[in-house]
Structure 1
Amino acid sequence: MVKFTRLALAVLSGLFAAPVVAEEVPILKIYTYDGFAAEWGPGPALKAGFEAICGGCIVEWIAADSSIGTLRRVQLEGDTTEADIIVGLDTAIAGEARATGLFAEHGLDLAGLNLPQAWTDTQFVPFDYAHFAFVYDEDSVSAPPKSFQELIALPEDFKIAIQDPRSATPGLGLVLWIAAAYGDRAPEIWAGLKPHILTVTREWSESYSLFLEGEADMALSYSSSPAYHIIADKDDTIHAALFSEGHLAQTEVAGILKSSDHQELAKKFLAYLTSVDGQKIIPTTNWMFPVIDLGAGLDPTYATLPQPEKTLVLTDEEIAANSQRWIDEMLAAVQ
């Protein structure tokens, strides 16, 4: 009896001492571009905000050098990708992304969005936007050009810094902007711009640095870029030049991969990304306009930024059918 009791106690002790196996915490893996995931970008705050409401999950950002880079990575990985979501594609490459067949429908009601055009995409969810524009410093450029034609007519020592359309979405945006504004005359515009192009950089940050350092008179950026200088630098001398031809808007989007094992969690993240709590993070970290009306939650600086009177539009079909030709025309003209 004593032996049995000791054995029973030993067994019971072992049971109570056995570690409790915790339920596995889901990890939501999100591909994005490096600036988005950086400590000064929106990534960390979005991670903290979503983890606080997801009921037990971990958000893991996996950064590439650009949004085009995230798409190329998923194209290579296909159904074996570890990504659940891509955040940071834009409307210029959404058609190409859709054509891969790798993205699921988001299933969200996005009727309340506030964008330059109504949103009908069933696979990609927008989270910020701004118009492509050239920025200048009023201390050095007192009379900025008001059109591509006026820019071309300036003395050749007036220089701009732009980005490569093959590696940077703003660079691709400029190609599409000129095509949307001038159609078959685009090669003529590029030829006129060539003497003014200081350099074509791989990424936006490189060309913007040249502008800030005074090497270039203007840099291709966004209509929202002055907000950073006003809010973060207390500098109100940086402006976006508005062109009479109109401007093309860049809308950044997020999409869920069909291969993800966390479909519902991914949908919840996209819903959070477009919620008031998610959207209020964007304007002072990614320096773009929110896609919903934040009211008093939006820094009043944004209301002071002049916006284009005309927004140019290209469809996914037009971009898919012509973008490579437009890029080739641009490269042939400026090289």
Structure 2
Amino acid sequence: MGKVILIMNNQISAVLQRSLLLLALCVFPVSSLLAQSSGASLPTLNVYTYSSFTSEWGPGPQLKEAFESHCNCRVNYISSDDGVSLLNRLRLEGANTRADLVLGLDDALIDEARQLRLVQPHGLALETLALKPVLNWQDQDFLPFDYGYFAFIYDAQRTPEPVVSMAALLASDARVIYQDPRTSTPGQGLLIWIKAVYGDQAAQAWRQMRPRTVTVTKGWSEAYTLFLEGEADYVLSYTTSPAYHLLVEEESRYQAALFSEGHPMQIEVAAISRYSQQADLARNFLQFLLSEEAQQIIPVTNWMLPVREGVELPEAFDQLIQPQAVGFSPQQIRQQRQTWIREWRSAVSQ
């Protein structure tokens, strides 16, 4: 009886398989046409970037829609956790990378990326791009798309009298969250900040920071979420972070502490991958990033400052602190970055 049932089941299975095959053959031409009509044959621009850029609240979706509306192409984002993670990924992939465009490194990483031969010249005339003079941008491989300053953010309701210097922060009993400089551009920004302020005494400054530190996170999002949950008095972020709370939440309690020693500037950049299969399309996307349309989108989605002159910003940006810039050249950072990381690791692990 069991064998009969098995044979019958096999016969039914064979008939069913033949029916499904005939159905697939009938449907295939239609599905193929649908795929073509939906844009499957359009050229695809693979953009390597960081995860918050591609999130639903980040600038990625709006920029993708705007660019695709006139490029006759598809934009495909491939994201990493952060700019430092992005560089590490590109280094590991080498010539096997899928990247056509690299978006989200910053000026502290560009010299290392160039030394690794990961990018190619953008071929655009800088004098025609209306870049802000404060950037003093002369690079022929990378183009800026936004910028800002690193800062410690605090909740004015919990911390009515914020610290006014790095020295005051290190001498306080405040609880601090910052990001790992090996994986995060803000974390790397703090590495640069401490070195710029303390020089040869940086290791001692890190030892002072250690008892203040609640945790060191892999990236910005985790750190900022913990801060908003009340896990720390200060979190390493940007001078522009309060603009988000003002515009989106109508909340003014979150502020950036203005430090007398100055703040490191971060310039985020984009470049054409050395191994790009769509170099012309990537170049068009670079030009689009610096257009008035894109530069209006970026500040209120990526919460950074526009690099183009004449971009009108919401009033919330007028209330931000205006720090003095401190730091090092990209060449100095490339030469010293690993030494500074080892110094940090040694100091905070003792």
Taking structure 2 as the reference length, the TM-score comes to 0.85
- Kept in 1, the 8 Å contact 2:46–2:100? The answer is yes
Higher helix proportion (structure 1 or 2): 2
Supply the distance in 2 between the matched residues of 1:69 and 1:295 (Cα, whole angstroms). 30
Supply the distance in 1 between the matched residues of 2:326 and 2:138 (Cα, whole angstroms). 17
Supply the distance in 1 between the matched residues of 2:114 and 2:108 (Cα, whole angstroms). 11
| 1:325 positional shift | 1.2
Identify the residue that residue 343 of structure 2 maps to in structure 1: 329
**Of the candidates 46, 49, 59, which is equivalent to residue 32 of structure 1?**
49
**Of the candidates 204, 207, 223, which is equivalent to residue 191 of structure 1?**
207
**Of the candidates 70, 82, 96, which is equivalent to residue 53 of structure 1?**
70
- Kept in 2, the 8 Å contact 1:132–1:173? The answer is yes
Supply the distance in 2 between the matched residues of 1:33 and 1:117 (Cα, whole angstroms). 22
| 1:38 positional shift | 1.2
Supply the distance in 2 between the matched residues of 1:240 and 1:100 (Cα, whole angstroms). 36
Identify the residue that residue 4 of structure 1 maps to in structure 2: none
Supply the distance in 1 between the matched residues of 2:336 and 2:215 (Cα, whole angstroms). 24
Structure 2: any 5+ residue segments left out of the alignment? 1-32
- Kept in 2, the 8 Å contact 1:163–1:220? The answer is yes
Post-superposition CA distance 1:243-301 (Å, at most 9, x none): 111110111111101221211111110000011011111111111111113443x2121
Identify the residue that residue 314 of structure 2 maps to in structure 1: 299
| 1:198 positional shift | 1.1
Identify the residue that residue 117 of structure 1 maps to in structure 2: 135
Which runs of structure 2 are paired with 1:211-222 in the superposition (5 Å)?
A: 211-222=227-238
Identify the residue that residue 144 of structure 1 maps to in structure 2: 162
Structure 1: any 5+ residue segments left out of the alignment? 1-18
- Kept in 2, the 8 Å contact 1:32–1:87? The answer is yes
One-letter code of the match for 2:161? A
- Kept in 1, the 8 Å contact 2:292–2:311? The answer is no
| 1:71 positional shift | 1.8
Post-superposition CA distance 1:63-119 (Å, at most 9, x none): 112222222222122122111001111112111111111211011223321263300
Supply the distance in 1 between the matched residues of 2:184 and 2:167 (Cα, whole angstroms). 24
One-letter code of the match for 2:77? W
Identify the residue that residue 61 of structure 2 maps to in structure 1: 44
One-letter code of the match for 1:80? N
Identify the residue that residue 315 of structure 1 maps to in structure 2: 329
Aligned: 1:250 with 2:266 = yes
Supply the distance in 1 between the matched residues of 2:178 and 2:156 (Cα, whole angstroms). 19
Identify the residue that residue 163 of structure 1 maps to in structure 2: 179
Identify the residue that residue 23 of structure 2 maps to in structure 1: none
One-letter code of the match for 2:171? A
SS at match of 2:126: coil
- Kept in 2, the 8 Å contact 1:282–1:290? The answer is yes
SS at match of 2:120: coil
Which runs of structure 2 are paired with 1:61-210 in the superposition (5 Å)?
A: 61-111=77-127, 112-114=130-132, 116-154=134-172, 156=173, 158-210=174-226
| 1:193 positional shift | 1.5
SS at match of 2:305: coil
Residues 205, 43 of structure 1: alpha-carbon distance in 2 compared, 3 angstrom cutoff: same
SS at match of 2:77: strand
SS at match of 2:255: strand
Supply the distance in 2 between the matched residues of 1:80 and 1:191 (Cα, whole angstroms). 41
Taking structure 1 as the reference length, the TM-score comes to 0.89
Supply the distance in 2 between the matched residues of 1:208 and 1:115 (Cα, whole angstroms). 31
SS at match of 2:300: coil
One-letter code of the match for 1:34? S
Supply the distance in 2 between the matched residues of 1:69 and 1:300 (Cα, whole angstroms). 34
- Kept in 1, the 8 Å contact 2:192–2:327? The answer is no
SS at match of 1:200: strand
- Kept in 1, the 8 Å contact 2:272–2:282? The answer is yes
| 1:163 positional shift | 0.7
Identity %: 45
Post-superposition CA distance 1:162-209 (Å, at most 9, x none): 111111111011001111222112112112212111111111111111
**Of the candidates 250, 257, 267, which is equivalent to residue 241 of structure 1?**
257
Aligned: 1:264 with 2:280 = yes
Supply the distance in 1 between the matched residues of 2:320 and 2:202 (Cα, whole angstroms). 28
- Kept in 2, the 8 Å contact 1:115–1:291? The answer is no
